[in-house]
Amino acid sequence: MKDINDLVSNIKHYKDVVVHKQFESKKNTLAYVTMKDKPRVLKWFVPSFKRQMETEYNVLKKGSSDLNIPFLYEKDNQNNVLILSYIVGENLCDLINDEEISFEEKKRLIILLADWFVKFHTFFKKEEGFCIRGDSNLRNFIFTDKIWGVDFEEFRPGKPIEDIAGMCSSILSTDPIFTSEKFKLCEIFRESYKESVDWFLNDLYDEIAYALLEKIQWRPNDEEILRKYSNRIKDKGLQ
């Protein structure tokens, strides 16, 4: 990941940009800035992620008028940069994992999250099938007075169950991990989504189990506990 100051210091187009915060990102450079005194997010893609930039651009261009996703102000092809609206809110992962927040409030947030996915999958549904957001984890959502989704590099054709399972695996495996509260929230998420759509979530528990195993490549130190709960969910569901 490059330093955002390399962009604003060396590229004339960004000479008046004021950088306020660079966010953590495993792949690209993401920063909160002001441009002509307007709050913006700069997302600077490495050259090898050009395809992902195009994917995200297409999602934002098509969906930002109808969905709670960032507004796209500009696409800078020459420098591989997207300029997006800045959403002032709290990261959903921090809220769901905050022990000071009541279960009832977390339940309300999870239901709002399920509704976000219902609207997203419905909006991008085609005659030949669905497109999904991919990379469904709590860190990719922000709460203001509503839920906002961000980061659509992994958008692709797929089955809604992949997003739902991915989100359940994220809820379960973020600290504190695999608590009884987390299992309850996953059930609420599943039921809330299921009640609002007319398509099926077949083999959801197998999909959650698989999503947990996929995390091992990023979290090798947690391999034992991820495998343990993957097997448990595959055998017994979200009990």
The neighbour count for residue 21, using CB atoms within 10 Å, is 10
Q: How far apart are CA 211 and CA 138, in angstroms?
A: 14
Q: How far is CA 107 from CA 61, 102, 104, in A?
A: 31, 9, 5
- 105-137 pLDDT, tens digit per residue, is 999 999 999 999 999 999 999 888 999 999 999
Report percent pLDDT > 70 for the chain.
100
Tokens of 112: 């709002």
Secondary structure letter of residue 91 according to DSSP: E
CB-count exposure of residue 171 (10 Å: 0-12, 13-18, 19+): buried
Q: Which CATH number fits domain 4-85: 3.40.190.10, 3.90.1150.150, 3.30.420.40, 3.30.200.20?
A: 3.30.200.20
Query: Is-contact 167 137, C-beta < 8 A?
Result: yes
**Residues 85, 76: contact at Cβ < 8 Å?**
no
Structure confidence at residue 13 (pLDDT): 86
Residue holding tokens 């017994």?
A: 236
Q: What is the pLDDT of residues 191-231, one digit of tens each?
A: 999 999 999 899 999 999 999 999 999 999 999 999 999 99
Domain boundaries, the chain: 4-85, 90-236
Rounded distance between C-alpha atoms, residue 194 and residue 114, angstroms: 9
Residue pair 71/84 in contact by the 8 Å Cβ criterion:
yes
Q: Is the pLDDT of residue 58 over 80?
A: yes
Residue carrying the six token digits 């994992």: 97
Structural fold of domain 90-236? Transferase(Phosphotransferase); domain 1 (1.10.510)
The string of DSSP codes covering 40-74 is EEEEE--GGGHHHHHHHHHHHHHHTTTSSSPPEEE
Calculate mean pLDDT across residues 5-10.
Answer: 83
> How confident is the model over 180-198, as pLDDT tens digits?
999 999 999 999 999 999 9
What does the alpha-carbon distance between residue 198 and residue 128 come to, in Å, rounded to a whole number?
16
Ranges 5-19, 64-78, 126-140: which has the least confidence: 5-19
Say whether pLDDT at 1 is over 70. Answer: no
The whole model's pTM is what? 0.94
Query: What is residue 11's predicted lDDT score, i.e. its pLDDT?
Result: 86
Supply 28's token pair.
């690209």
